[in-house]
Amino acid sequence: MNSHFLKLLTLAVASFAVTVTYAQQDTQAKPRPEDTEIWQPVPKVVTPAAECNAPPSDAIVLFDGKNVDDWVNVKDKQPALWDVHDGVMTVNKAGGSIETRRRFKDYQLHVEYKIPASITGTGQGRGNSGVFLASTGPGDDGYELQVLDGYNNPTYVNGMAGSIYKQSIPLANASRKPGEWQTYDVAWTAPTFNDDGSLKTPAYVTVFFNGILVQNHFELKGQTLYIGKPFYKKYDSAPIKLQAHGDKSEPISYRNIWVRELP
Ligand code: MG
Q: pLDDT (tens digit, 9 = 90+) per residue, 237-259?
A: 999 999 999 999 999 999 999 99
**In what helix (H) or strand (E) does residue 10 lie, and over which residues does it extend?**
helix 3-29
> What is the 86 CA–ligand 1 centroid distance (Å)?
24
> What is the 157 CA–ligand 1 centroid distance (Å)?
13
CA-based torsion, 129, 135, 138, 141: positive or negative: negative
Q: CA-to-CA distance for 108 and 91, rounded, in angstroms? A: 23
In this predicted structure, what is the pLDDT of residue 262?
Answer: 97
The residues spanned by each domain of the chain are 3-36, 60-261
* Residue 7, pLDDT above cutoff 70: no
- What residues have CB less than 8 Å from 65, skipping those under 6 apart? 84, 87, 88, 255, 256
* Residue 177, pLDDT above cutoff 50: yes
> What is the 176 CA–ligand 1 centroid distance (Å)?
17
Q: CA-to-CA distance for 250 and 131, rounded, in angstroms? A: 18
* Residue 13, pLDDT above cutoff 60: no
Which CATH fold topology does 60-261 show?
Answer: Jelly Rolls (2.60.120)
DSSP state of 93: T
Tell me what the pLDDT averaged over the chain comes to: 90
In this predicted structure, what is the pLDDT of residue 215?
Answer: 97
Using CA atoms of 124, 246, 164, 229 in order, give the dihedral in degrees to the nearest 10.
100
What's the count of helices (H) and strands (E) in the chain, helices before strands?
A: 1, 15
Model confidence pLDDT, tens digit, residues 81-131: 999 999 999 999 999 999 999 999 999 999 999 999 999 999 999 999 999
Model confidence pLDDT, tens digit, residues 20-63: 444 455 556 789 988 988 888 887 777 777 778 999 999 999 99
